[in-house]
């Protein structure tokens, strides 16, 4: 085969390849479109299922927390056996019910999830208070009907109290909604790396992990 023949043959192959690509392009585009639509449909379906499960998950949080009433308060406590402080209670409940490990302090918890107004509170929301002369120094879990559960202070046990009491009204610092925005409740179509990032919260020095509230008013 001469050099000219080889060059002509190579050019012909290149033209054939280009022609095949042009012919196949609409099919590839349609396939990509179908894939995109399929992924979008999957995402919508999974999001809808996740949305339906949100209320169930929130109710589970409240029901599980009720089982901790009477657990003694312990400064820095993280388990019912050893005792619980306010954020330790929240962290333990969410770990057991959702499998998500939350930040350790009330102040760090106040930066997680979505802000919720007092009028829009739902079961499973976190409610925060200024009980130590700085914002978000105490946290409880809202149970609905104006009630929340919390670990109050030394010498007291996990208990239920009401938001409408003057003390809590005066010290209320805001609320956050974690149910529905935590990685465990995000549809699986989202990358796992995203869920890992969302749960990768920094935990401060050991002295920041311990928190307690001053003497609080007794439950009604």
Q: Which of 13, 27, 56, 150 is catalytic?
A: 150
Q: Which of 13, 56, 138, 171 is catalytic?
A: 138
**Residue 171 known to be catalytic:** no
Which whole-number Å values give the CA distances from 122 to 66, 127, 176, 204, in the listed order? 16, 10, 10, 29
Q: Which of 13, 56, 86, 171 is catalytic?
A: 86
Helices (H) and strands (E) in the chain, counts: 6, 8
Q: Which of 60, 51, 175 is nearest to 119 (CA)?
A: 175
What number of other Cβ atoms are within 10 A of residue 45's Cβ? 12
**Residue 86 known to be catalytic:** yes
Q: Which of 163, 174, 156 is nearest to 214 (CA)?
A: 156
Q: Which residues are catalytic?
A: 86, 138, 150
């Amino acid at each position: 085969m001469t050099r000219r023949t080889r060059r002509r043959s190579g050019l012909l192959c290149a033209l054939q390849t280009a022609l095949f690509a042009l012919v196949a392009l609409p099919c590839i585009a349609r396939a990509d479109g179908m894939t995109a639509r399929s992924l979008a449909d999957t995402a919508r379906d999974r999001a809808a299922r996740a949305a339906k499960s949100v209320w169930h998950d929130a109710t589970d949080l409240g029901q599980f927390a009720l089982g901790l009433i009477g657990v003694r308060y312990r400064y820095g406590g993280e388990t019912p056996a050893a005792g619980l402080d306010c954020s330790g209670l929240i962290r333990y409940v969410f770990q057991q019910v959702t499998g998500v490990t939350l930040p350790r302090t009330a102040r760090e918890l106040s930066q997680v999830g979505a802000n919720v107004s007092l009028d829009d509170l739902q079961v499973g929301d976190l409610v925060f208070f200024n009980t130590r002369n700085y914002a978000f120094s105490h946290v409880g879990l809202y149970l609905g009907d104006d009630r929340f559960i919390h670990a109050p202070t030394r010498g007291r046990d996990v208990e239920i109290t009401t938001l409408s009491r003057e003390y809590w009204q005066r010290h209320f610092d805001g609320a956050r909604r974690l149910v529905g925005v935590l990685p465990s409740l995000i549809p699986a179509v989202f990358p796992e790396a995203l869920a890992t990032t969302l749960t990768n919260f920094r935990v401060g020095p050991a002295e920041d992990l311990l928190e307690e509230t001053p003497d609080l008013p007794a439950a009604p």
